[in-house]
Structure 1
Amino acid sequence: MNSSPDFPDTGPDTGPRPRPRRAAGSLTAVAVVAAVAAGGAYAAGLGPFEGESGPDPEAVAEARAFLADWAAGRLPDAAARTTGPDRAEQVLRNFTAGLDIERPKLTADEPEETGDGTVTVPFTARMPITGLGTWTYTSKLPLREQDDGAWKVDWKLSLVHPRLSDTRKFRLEREESEPVEATDRDGDTLSGTTHPSLGPVLARLAGGTDGGGPRGAVHLVDRATGKTERTEASFGGKPATKDDGPVRTTLDADWQSAAERALAQADGRNAALVALRIDDGEILAVANSPASGFNRAVSGTYAPGSTWKIVTSSALLLKGAVAPDDVVDCPQYLTVGKRFQNVETSEHPGATFRKDFTESCNTAFISLRGKLGEGELGDVAKTYFGVGQTWHVGVPSYDGSVPVPRDATEKAASMIGQGRVQANPLIMASVTATAVSGTFHQPSLVAGTEDTTTTTPIPPRVVTQLRELMRATVTEGTARGLSDLPGDIGAKTGTAEVSDDQDNNGWMVAHRGDVAVACVVEEGVTGGGSAGPVIHALLSAVPES
């Protein structure tokens, strides 16, 4: 048994240095959730609390700013928002470094007034632990108004995790597994040596289809004695043995090699790509850059940006709320609590819905929000696309989330794949496959995985419309970069803003023949400019299937 360093609340600064903060442009200093979709930008500020009675909006904004800084690794900035900045920075840094946590996802919930002059903001923490999985828990941020009228997070250890205290801390323990032997769909040997990007993927296959992979746990321990009081989270299943033989995967060695080479087009940025078969959901390639570490392709949580307009369009077309040739104006700006805009404030007066889709017009899609019920977008995602249901892929995966919007601004954002909509390349490759075939197939990396999903086929009329819209995006829209490739390719680009000091994430999804692909490039600025070259390189390297 190998143990990682204990989580200390004191000690040297061993964590990664935070990135220098860039100018926030037009965003305000307290804007926390910012999002842009291909063709536009969304900035969420006070959300459901703006203009309502209840907790002071400035307190809520400060809580969300603290969570955003913590999640982005801006630990000095997060600590400066507390009543104990030196202590806070030290604890936050050692918590993430000591437990090998990377890129936490912290989501604020409804605030509460506690009656003693403080405001409490509950939050959900999703902590990806390198090479193991995600530790999810809930906690609360207490905020107190200062003498100068400003609000600060009232620092205490328990806000990081409710059980963290002066007498108890956390320890991460890992159990090493034998390197897994695996083959592709044709029986060819796969390994992290021949296909470096498969390292973290194959490691999770070590226990077969029961969740497998590297094993480990986060324990709560007594600071004085080191005795384990309880296990907070455990990862991995039954370890494989050499007698089990190689794990036969659905991967294709040629597709996998091409995918890994294609990620070189991401110019060293963090990126991920998934390719899968449309007719059965079998995964052909899973690639991550960097090759080691977090499996972004399957376990990442990202706003999908305008690639999500495939689902939004499906919801609108299913109920006949719009038709491709209907005129849906595309102005530069549209205000729904916040001002939404299109990329470079572009506009397309008198555009049809087809034009809005191919040019990825945010304002046009947001203008149609009243055509959908409050939770209808999430219902369509779950019912027709399987998003948000539990998937059994063969390795641990994040299966998406489309919460019911909390206010009009968040509903507008969800129409363009922002707000609290979350996905990853696996999900968006599956969404693409479902849209162009009409039938959801649970993605799988190994044969024989359990399938507990229940979905409804998309009517052929809507499938035809979606295929035509995606094809037009290649021939005349934002995915024109793929138009020189052979085959009847359809695609959709997307761009999603992460925070006020990071460049946008770039997205592209595409389909050709029986294969659907999805790629995200972190801080790629635009989908067409960053993810587009990756997918172009991939489809150029493999024959149409």
Structure 2
Amino acid sequence: MASRFVTGPPAGFTAAHQDWAEGVGASSAAFTVEEVFPADDGAGAVVTFTATIEVAGAGAWEYESSVPVVRAGQRWLVDWSPAVLHPSLEEGDTLRVVRTWPTRAAILAIDARPIASEQSVKVIGVVPEQVEDLTELLAGLEAAGIDPEQARDAIEAPAVQPDWFVPVGTLSESAYPAVADTLDALPGVLVREGTERTRLPSPFADHVVGSTGVMTVELLEALGPPYSATDTVGRSGLELALEERLAGTPDQQVQRVNRYGRMMEVLATFPGTAPEAVTTTLDIDVQEAVEAVIATAPEPAAVVVVDAATGGIRGVASRPLDGFDRALSGLYPPGSAFKVVTAAALLGEGVTPLQVVDCPEEVTLGGRRFTNAGEAALGQIPFVDAFAFSCNTTFAPLATALLDPGELAAAAAGFGFNTAPGLPVPASTPVFPEPADDAEEGAAAIGQGRVLASPLHLATVAAAVAGGGWQPPSLLAGEPPQRTPLSAEVAADLADLMLRVVAYGTGVAAAVEGEEVHGKTGTAEYETGSGLGSHAWFIGYWEGYAFAVLVEGGGAGGTVAAPLAADLVGRLAALPADGGQ
């Protein structure tokens, strides 16, 4: 179309314009006419203009230029040359944008020790158009210690251009000299200085910290300019969620390149932004203790430790590693672990710890039958013992009889149910639907029915007792979230109740000699399709740490999860007193 306004448009006229637009990644272009005056030779005129080119992912590039025009009958036509596109362009020149990314910032533990950071490496890359024999190239790369299949995938990735430097692997500074000659002999291979992301050895909060890797089509579409198909980016966890903060933005140059590929001139520069290190709430020593505990747990499982004073996540792990993040994103019926919340509501309504209550073999509420583990019946016992021995047939009828409509839901809200965690990585919102009738109220009171929570959330429930009120969890260092206060009297009573669970109740397997462990077991029933299964829970706190242990489908909390909690407390107690916390 534009060729209609050009005198004798040269071969490649349309391609030259396309190359100009694509070379600078122009997302838009605007041209403002400034002046029109006669040409020096008197054969036409010159139109001066200001061009404003929006370079995608960089910013506006503004320059002044001029267009010579000549009369052709009743029309004025452009006397075209490459200089029409930019005054510096000569025949055969092209434009390109060169991006230089800063060194990716580190992910740090709460005490500023690095969890993931960069180290110097040799970046092995391939320029596709210079490769003579792909099979020989891949064999040579394999001999040098580069994965040939990963190299093939990178070279053949969608959107890769023939003249790009395509990273296919890295070698440490110490390993490179031994294979330098092999790589130098491979046509198409180039070696550049670079850095590589290194992190504490896996497993170490893998789901949360995440990983980096080669750009995917989906991520490129989501991130957009200034990213390209060959960039290394965060692929999961914090590395992905905080990509822009950790990566910063690149310094960018618009360069004039001659027909031989030589850079002749820098026409525009766009300074990037510096990356920022991220300090997390994770404690390396606590995380290692968590990893040691979960390594002994039946899978699937999750363990979470939070700082009771701040809500900061000190350690978190899920298994299997190739599964989803059960610790933060899993939603499960909490079972009797929810009795911490129900007990808080009942204590707030005037129930006293030593008040005598009934723990029969079974009760029926709204047509639903409730029983205890093993169909046990403890008769008339103090409320503290009903909690310690986790009497469903006490808690379900007490909640329906003593709590007004909405009171249990309000208590649950006070412990963070139905409040989104607000973390930078995916984390599920705990669910407490308003019970519709006595049957649902009774089920909710013992953590069944439609009540759902993640291991992370139940760790914050335990932290609420230890810290005097609930606060949202945090994963990044900074000011702790505001706490929803818990009555001092109720908090003290709950602390005593949870202490008795471990001292002589269902949680005795969580006891650690010489340590004061507070806790609550949970055996949460769920439909399996062929009957009922049970998730094993133990939540609790020790010193300044609150925690939750889940073994998915593991059975009884007191026999499966509680021993893991004891192992966890023992390992926490063995940590140096001046640790990361």
TM-score class, shorter-chain normalisation, is 0.5 to 0.7
* 433-442 or 178-187: bigger deviation: 178-187
Query: Which of 417, 430, 439 is the aligned partner of 1:409?
Result: 439
Matched, 1:458 2:478: no
Q: Which residue of 1 aligns with 2:570?
A: 540
- TM norm structure 1: 0.58
Q: Which amino acid aligns with 1:379?
A: A
1:420/1:366 Cα in 2 relative to 1: closer, same or farther (>3 Å)?
Answer: same
Q: What secondary structure does 1:351 align onto? A: strand
- Deviations along 1:85-118, whole A, 9 cap, x unmatched? xxxxxxxxxxxxxxxxxxxxxxxxxxxxxxxxxx
- Deviations along 1:122-152, whole A, 9 cap, x unmatched? xxxxxxxxxxxxxxxxxxxxxxxxxxxxxxx
Question: 4+ residue stretches of structure 1 with deviation over 3 A?
Answer: 178-181, 214-218, 235-240, 448-451
Instruction: State the alpha-carbon separation in 2 of the partners of residues 520 and 376 from structure 1.
Output: 28
Quote the offset at 1:276 in angstroms. 0.7
Q: What secondary structure does 1:312 align onto? A: helix
Query: Which of 354, 360, 366 is the aligned partner of 1:325?
Result: 354
* 285-294 or 190-199: bigger deviation: 190-199
Quote the offset at 1:279 in angstroms. 0.8
Instruction: State the alpha-carbon separation in 2 of the partners of residues 348 and 527 from structure 1.
Output: 20
1:177-326 maps to which residues of 2 (within 5 A)? 181-191=106-116, 194-203=201-210, 239=244, 240-241=246-247, 243-267=274-298, 269-320=299-350, 322-326=351-355
**Does the 8 Å contact 1:197/1:290 carry over to 2?**
no
Q: Which residue of 2 aligns with 1:497?
A: 525
1:72-91 maps to which residues of 2 (within 5 A)? none
**Does the 8 Å contact 2:540/2:547 carry over to 1?**
yes
**Does the 8 Å contact 2:207/2:317 carry over to 1?**
no
Quote the offset at 1:197 in angstroms. 4.7
Q: What secondary structure does 2:338 align onto? A: helix
Q: Which amino acid aligns with 1:539?
A: V
Instruction: State the alpha-carbon separation in 2 of the partners of residues 285 and 179 from structure 1.
Output: 24
- Deviations along 1:183-225, whole A, 9 cap, x unmatched? 211122225652425222113999xxxxxxx95999xxxxxxx
1:450/1:514 Cα in 2 relative to 1: closer, same or farther (>3 Å)?
Answer: closer
Q: Which residue of 1 aligns with 2:92?
A: none
1:374/1:181 Cα in 2 relative to 1: closer, same or farther (>3 Å)?
Answer: same
Instruction: State the alpha-carbon separation in 1 of the partners of residues 475 and 382 from structure 2.
Output: 40
1:200/1:456 Cα in 2 relative to 1: closer, same or farther (>3 Å)?
Answer: closer
Instruction: State the alpha-carbon separation in 2 of the partners of residues 334 and 522 from structure 1.
Output: 28
Q: What secondary structure does 1:485 align onto? A: coil
Instruction: State the alpha-carbon separation in 1 of the partners of residues 220 and 470 from structure 2.
Output: 33
Instruction: State the alpha-carbon separation in 2 of the partners of residues 297 and 398 from structure 1.
Output: 10
Q: What secondary structure does 2:358 align onto? A: coil
- Deviations along 1:442-491, whole A, 9 cap, x unmatched? 2111124895x7x6411111111001100011111011112233322111
Instruction: State the alpha-carbon separation in 2 of the partners of residues 525 and 334 from structure 1.
Output: 23
**Does the 8 Å contact 1:438/1:460 carry over to 2?**
yes
Quote the offset at 1:376 in angstroms. 1.5
Q: What secondary structure does 1:498 align onto? A: strand
Quote the offset at 1:541 in angstroms. 1.2
Query: Which of the pair has more CA radius of gyration?
Result: 2
Query: Which of 443, 453, 463 is the aligned partner of 2:473?
Result: 443
Q: Which residue of 2 aligns with 1:527?
A: 557
Q: Which amino acid aligns with 1:460?
A: A
Q: Which residue of 2 aligns with 1:381?
A: 412
Matched, 1:370 2:404: no
1:541/1:389 Cα in 2 relative to 1: closer, same or farther (>3 Å)?
Answer: same
Q: What secondary structure does 2:336 align onto? A: helix
- Deviations along 1:329-349, whole A, 9 cap, x unmatched? 111111121211111101101
Quote the offset at 1:435 in angstroms. 1.7
1:37-186 maps to which residues of 2 (within 5 A)? 181-186=106-111
- TM norm structure 2: 0.55
Instruction: State the alpha-carbon separation in 2 of the partners of residues 197 and 506 from structure 1.
Output: 23
Q: Which residue of 1 aligns with 2:161?
A: none
1:393/1:525 Cα in 2 relative to 1: closer, same or farther (>3 Å)?
Answer: same
Matched, 1:479 2:507: yes
- Looking at secondary structure, tell me which structure has more strand per residue: 2
* 368-377 or 357-366: bigger deviation: 368-377
Q: What secondary structure does 1:497 align onto? A: strand
- Deviations along 1:332-374, whole A, 9 cap, x unmatched? 1111212111111011011111111000000010120221122
1:411/1:179 Cα in 2 relative to 1: closer, same or farther (>3 Å)?
Answer: farther
- Deviations along 1:362-400, whole A, 9 cap, x unmatched? 001012022112221121121x32222233233221131
Q: Could you list the runs of 5+ residues in structure 2 that have no partner in the other structure?
A: 1-102, 117-198, 223-239, 249-273
Q: Which amino acid aligns with 1:479?
A: G
Instruction: State the alpha-carbon separation in 2 of the partners of residues 319 and 543 from structure 1.
Output: 36
- Deviations along 1:381-431, whole A, 9 cap, x unmatched? 21x322222332332211311110122211110000011111111111111
Higher relative contact order (Cα pairs below 8 Å, separated by 6+ residues)? 1
Matched, 1:334 2:363: yes
Quote the offset at 1:504 in angstroms. 0.7
1:236/1:184 Cα in 2 relative to 1: closer, same or farther (>3 Å)?
Answer: closer
Q: Which amino acid aligns with 1:241?
A: A
**Does the 8 Å contact 1:215/1:236 carry over to 2?**
no
Q: Which amino acid aligns with 2:465?
A: A
Q: Which residue of 2 aligns with 1:433?
A: 463
Instruction: State the alpha-carbon separation in 1 of the partners of residues 212 and 429 from structure 2.
Output: 18
Q: Could you list the runs of 5+ residues in structure 1 that have no partner in the other structure?
A: 1-177, 207-213, 219-234
Q: Which residue of 2 aligns with 1:129?
A: none
User: How well do the aligned residues superpose, as a CA RMSD in angstroms?
Assistant: 2.6
- Deviations along 1:44-98, whole A, 9 cap, x unmatched? xxxxxxxxxxxxxxxxxxxxxxxxxxxxxxxxxxxxxxxxxxxxxxxxxxxxxxx
Q: Which amino acid aligns with 1:186?
A: D
Q: Which amino acid aligns with 1:325?
A: L
